[in-house]
Amino acid sequence: MTRSTQRILCLLTLLWTSSAPAAEAPAASCLERTATALQSMQPRLEHIAQAADAAAKGMHPGSRYWIGGHPALISEFTGRAGGIMLAASLDPAAVKPGDVILFATANDHPVPEHTTGAWIILADKAAEKDTTLLTPHGEWGLSPTLAQAIAGWIFNGEFIAALTREGRMPVLYESIGLYGGIPRQNQYQMQGIFWHDTHSAGPVPPGQLGARFITLVAAMLRRIETEERPLLDRTGAWAAAALKNNRSCWMYSMGHLFPFEVDGTEIGKTFKSGVWNSGFTQHPTPDDTYHPGDVIIHVGYQHPPYTLLPKARAAGAKTIYIDVMQHRDYPTSDDVIWIDPMWPWSDACVPIDGYDIPALAASGVVNAALAWEIHRLTAHQNQQPPAEPGV
């Protein structure tokens, strides 16, 4: 282990040994749990910024930024709106001095043996000598992957800021749902350009981008809690009634943390899962058959699931779609619910002063919280008498 690696791990260990507040019982609502988890990171920003600063200082021209560990987190932090274009799936054999590695641990994805590079470990317990208690998902009442997504995005923000303090600005992705997303990839990624030659960003002060992410995403979650609560409760009632009546419940999803956050967790034991990429017509959609009384949930992205909505209605099934855009022909009604996830069309939500696009994607954290809240409500309602038709 290099001296640089030891220094970073020591700093990350301090996140929980020197500044963690006393644990409290998680809130009932998964939206509130996630907002509280985000805010619990605020006192730790100084230490995260120090770790990011040490990693940034060790980089040199040609250094790489690797994402390793759990595949869902590799997907969440690579190829992502507001994410660092330099980020790539970890090849342990290719790590060299000066490289930075963000590694999301899991039972079947332990930290590999390593002797070089600056390793930033996301873990919920000190299982090995070089891990740190950074994501206490049990304390937060969240899934391990959602907890790691929160911490990882905050680290990414502080890492970007630390690089600007070194006079460098990494190229960030823009959502391909925006007009500039694909041209930006063609301009930079396809040309192997991952750093801006000239830029007007920074130096960004320590703690600023992480704090902005915490504040903005927590506000989105609490706005959903305030404005969409009746619709969420109705969703849980619909799903619970369907299960009690031996009907089928689907939870389709799309994105980076998904579909694992559904089919790889307890959610997938209640809901059938599948990938439904609404708005991206080059991807095939599931060819499932629906029946009267079935409930279909779409945890989506920007566009509504255009072909799903008429298909489900024709079959007599009920549909809930969580997408930024409401379908004008399918507003909330007796058989359809639209839930606004409250994150912006750009997905990336944190502005960087002087930079052309925002950083740090909100959709993975927010959509995961919504999926878990629907699962919680379904399980709770399923213990009650069957819901009345049309609820």
Can you read off the two tokens belonging to residue 179? 């007009």
Cβ pair 340, 294 in contact under 8 A: no
The answer, as to whether pTM is greater than 0.85, is yes
Write out the DSSP string of 122-140. Answer: E-SS--STT------HHHH
Query: Which residues neighbour 117 within 8 Å (Cβ) at sequence distance 6 or greater?
Result: 2, 5, 66, 95, 96, 97, 98, 99, 100, 101
Rg for the chain, CA atoms, rounded: 21
Q: Given CA atoms 138, 141, 146, 152 in this order, what sign does their dihedral have? A: negative
Residue 38's nearest CA partner among 153, 157, 126, 120 is 153
| 3-220 and 228-381 share one fold | yes
Distance CA 164, CA 199 (A): 10
Looking at domain 228-381, its CATH class is alpha beta
Tens place of pLDDT for every residue, the chain, 391 residues?
444 444 444 444 434 433 444 456 777 999 999 999 999 999 999 989 999 999 999 999 899 999 999 999 999 999 999 999 999 999 999 999 999 999 999 889 998 988 899 899 898 766 454 435 468 888 899 999 999 999 999 999 999 999 999 999 999 999 999 999 999 999 999 999 999 998 888 799 999 999 999 999 999 999 999 999 999 999 999 999 999 999 999 999 998 999 999 999 999 999 999 999 988 888 889 999 999 999 999 999 999 999 999 999 999 999 999 999 999 999 999 999 999 999 999 999 999 999 999 999 999 999 999 999 999 999 988 774 333 333 3
Cβ proximity of 195 and 87 under 8 Å: no
Distances in Å between the Cα of 48 and the Cα atoms of 225, 289, 386 are: 29, 48, 48
In sequence order, what are the residues at sequence separation of 6 or more whose Cβ sits closer than 8 angstroms to the Cβ of residue 4? 54, 58, 118
Q: What is the distance between the alpha carbons of residues 115 and 158, in angstroms, rounded to a whole number? A: 24
For the chain, the domains span: 3-220, 228-381
Q: What was the pLDDT predicted at 3?
A: 45
DSSP-assigned beta bridge partners for residue 340: none
Query: What is the predicted pLDDT for the residue at 387?
Result: 34
Range 3-220 has CATH code 2.40.160: no
Tell how strand 100-104 and strand 65-69 pair up.
Answer: parallel
Residue 27's pLDDT is 75
Q: Please report the pLDDT score of residue 130 as a whole number.
A: 42
Res 382: pLDDT: 74
**Tell me, what's the pLDDT at 386?**
35
Enter the DSSP assignment of 334: S
How many other β-carbons are positioned within 10 Å of the β-carbon of residue 193? 13
| Residue type at 131 in one-letter notation | T
Q: Which two tokens stand for residue 203?
A: 């130096």
- Token output for 105: 């641990």
